[in-house]
Structure 1
Amino acid sequence: MLKIYRIDHVAVAAPDIDKQLALLEGLFGFRRTHVWDNPAAGVRGVRLAVPGAAGQTWVVLAPSGEGGSLQRWLDEKGGRPGLHHVGAEVPDLDAAVAELDKRGLQVTDSVPGLWVEASLSPPEHGPGVLWRLRGPGHLAMLGDDDATAVKPVDANGPTLGIRGIDHICQAFHDRDELSRWYSDLAGFVEVWRTADDEIPDMADLVLNVPGSSICWEVITGRGEDSFVDKFLARNGAAAHHVTFEVADWDAALAACGVHDIPTFDDEEGVKDGAAWKHTFIHPKHAGGVLVQLFWEERPGVWVRSDKIPPAN
């Protein structure tokens, strides 16, 4: 089994770091902590602290120098920014590489002995979400060997009031197949699911990732005109969105208004006597990543309180 110690970061690739920083620091309230420029590795980047996150950071990467795997990745995406990979620490990198090979998971990029990058989705279904894995003892895995610590920049105006990253969502043609795969591969534990016929155009489930406060959601299309199936046809089994919790719903929406960022697909409800609300920010307004925001009056009422799967 592939043992994951903890999720370290979420990395976005973009051709324009400054534009990303204006959004992430201004609206999202992230704070830059380190910067680097490494033409030899083909990458420059910025690491940002996420309010309320349990040790996970947000990273923006851009090409530096000539060529390089990051530039190729952006070229394949038509130059559009997007979620590049999820970074994680493993207790034994050699064992992790051996497990990837055993499962037929192809390494797409690496620095031997330091880190490897691979999709962890079933290989027969094509590329999925990239994971970048590093072993203990060497913190750099982003070309940031000589990163410089910087003073955080104060927000210019109101922010979303983020309380942390709740989960990353992946689209897949069969949620149960991917749940079993991740459980067998890396010990992910299913903790929540919707009934098969509860939502007209989709079904989902949530997995806990060992050693991390960030969960993993899997969504599967239902019906003849599901948005999930359309997404899969365009992007394959990729990351669909990233979800953040906010502390104050009205303040978060007001911040979006101040920054001229629209939201869509607002929903709200009440469970166990407590209210919840959620909405989305389109990728073109969120640095190439579909962002979901949610607020809950009491922890656990948004999606979890009545969706615990029965014991086997």
Structure 2
Amino acid sequence: MRIYRIDHVAQVVPDLDAQVSLLSTVFGFRAVSRWDNQAVGTRGVRMEIPGSWGHAWLVLSPTDEKSPLRTWLDEHGGRPGLHHVGAEVPDLDAAIVELEERGLTLTDGVPGKWAEASLSPPEHGPGVLWRLRGPGTLAMCGDDSPSPVEASAVDGPTLGVVALDHICQAFLDRDELARWYADLAGFVQVWRTPDDEHPDMADLVLNVPGSSICWEVIMPRGEDSFIEKFYARNGAAAHHVTFQVSDWDAAKAACEHHGLNTFDDEEGVTDGAAWKHTFVHPKQTGGVLVQLFWEERPGVWVRSDKIAPAAS
């Protein structure tokens, strides 16, 4: 199955306007369209991510108590969170046939328009939801007739986001999931930590063909891994989303200005160039664990030369 490109990341929240305001004033995202589709029970806003041409962030909310999104929120204890990743494939019908042949169950969709499924190995239970559509209309979230949104000025500092860098998924065996994605959709492994680099985890990063967004897989190591605890609660779900910022000090100052508490700060120097990263808790971002990073020179934070020939 080929993926032309990743179109968007979608989150579900109970309060649409509050989340759009947060993403505008803090993250610097720009709302470009919105819709209120009572027939499918979905309200939403499509937002541009600075520096990420062709990639959007969708904020979704239920229109009433009968909405499938209300059911989703109820199943998650009323907590907001990342709902799915939207992508374009060259042939939707062929993609559906392949998914079914691999034992993947479609969980939602509109015939001829889009289909939703977890693209993780089915024997491990649900993972990250993907919504796939063929070339043509962007609509796959009830946004069949969106209304444009006029740009509004942002008052105050933002994080200075310049790109959506990657989505991270938790899994018990990083190599197994990497082989699965490579066989399913041609994901290419470009970076991995040595098995013993961290006491509680090991990770790797995959390039997604047709997209500048990468896919990270983290797995637990040791007796008390935070990933094992996360997996026990959530299964093979998305763990965090990572954005690049243009100015580290300005981003940290914006976090302080908006009352965002960062944690697990780390910094280093690779080949003479500095890099830094930190995290913002899901309670302060609308249900998504956010990682922010800055690098003095492109490619020093995540480097393809970290893969040994035998592991490539």
- Which category of TM-score, normalised to the shorter sequence, fits these structures? over 0.9
CA distance in 1, matches of 2:307, 2:54: 27
Aligned residue runs from structure 1 range 144-293, under 5 A:
144-293=143-292
Q: Which amino acid aligns with 1:270?
A: V
**TM-score when scaled to structure 2?**
0.98
Q: Residue deviations 1:2-53, cap 9 Å, x none?
A: 1111000000001101221121001100010000000101100000010000
Equivalent position SS for 1:113: coil
Return closer, same or farther for 1:309/1:163 CA change in 2, 3 Å cut-off.
farther
Aligned-partner Cα distance in 2 for 1:306–1:180? 20
Aligned length: 311
Residue aligned with 2:39, SS:
helix
Distance in 1 (alpha carbons) for counterparts of 2:81 and 2:51: 23
Q: Deviations over 1:35-79 (max 9, x none)?
A: 000010110000001000031000000001341321211110011
**2:37 matches 1:38:** yes
* Cα deviation 1:101-127 (Å, max 9, x = unaligned): 001111001011100000000001000
Secondary structure of 2:240's aligned partner: strand
In 2, the alpha carbon distance for the partners of 1:68 and 1:118 equals 19
Question: What is the Cα deviation at residue 307 of structure 1?
Answer: 1.1
Query: Which residue identity is paired with 1:72?
Result: T
RMSD: 1.0
Q: Could you tell me which amino acid in structure 1 is paired with residue 37 of structure 2?
A: N
Equivalents in 1 of 2:149, 2:173: separation in Å? 44
Alpha-carbon distance between aligned partners in 2 of 1:55 and 1:158, rounded to the nearest angstrom? 24
Q: What aligned pairs does 1:297-308 form with structure 2 within 5 A after superposition?
A: 297-304=296-303, 306-308=305-307
Q: Which amino acid counterpart does residue 98 of structure 2 have in structure 1?
A: E
SS across alignment from 1:253: helix
Aligned to 1:96: 95
Q: Structure 1 length normalisation: TM-score?
A: 0.98
Q: Kindly tell me: are residues 61 and 309 of structure 1, through their superposed partners in 2, closer, same or farther at Cα, counting changes over 3 Å?
A: farther
Q: Secondary structure at the match of 1:182?
A: helix
Q: Which SS does the other structure have where 1:165 is aligned?
A: strand
Confirm or deny: 8 A CA contact 1:167 1:214 kept in the other structure. Answer: yes
Partner of 1:130: 129
Counterpart CA distance in 1 for 2:221 and 2:190 is 21
CA contact 2:5–2:209 (8 Å) conserved in 1: yes
Paired position in structure 2 for 1:74: 73
Give the fraction of aligned pairs with identical amino acids, expressed as a percent.
Answer: 72
Letter in 2 for 1:198: E
Aligned to 1:27, the other structure's residue is in SS state helix
Paired residue type of 1:77? H
Structure 1 runs of 4+ aligned residues shifted over 2 Å read none
Return 223-232 or 148-157, whichever deviates more: 148-157
Is there any run of 5+ residues in structure 2 with no aligned partner, and where? none
The residue type paired with residue 22 of structure 1 is S
Q: Is the 1:171–1:238 contact (alpha carbons within 8 Å) kept by the matching residues of 2?
A: yes
Tell me by how many angstroms 1:306 deviates.
4.3
Q: Tell me, which stretches of 5 or more residues in structure 1 are unaligned?
A: none
Cα offset for 1:190?
A: 0.4
CA contact (8 A) 1:39 1:66 kept: no
Letter in 2 for 1:30: F
Per the TM alignment, residue 305 of structure 1 is displaced from its structure 2 partner at its CA by: 5.5
Give the letter for the 1:62 counterpart.
Answer: S
SS in 2 for 1:40: coil
Query: In 2, Cα distance between the equivalents of 1:81 and 1:154?
Result: 26
Q: Which amino acid aligns with 2:15?
A: D
Judging changes above 3 Å, is the alpha-carbon distance between structure 1 residues 192 and 130 closer, same or farther for their aligned structure 2 residues?
same
Return the alpha-carbon distance in structure 2 between the equivalents of residues 13 and 213 of structure 1: 24
- Partner SS, residue 116 of structure 1: strand
Query: Which amino acid letter does the alignment assign opposite residue 208 of structure 1?
Result: N
Deviates more, 1:202-211 or 1:69-78: 69-78
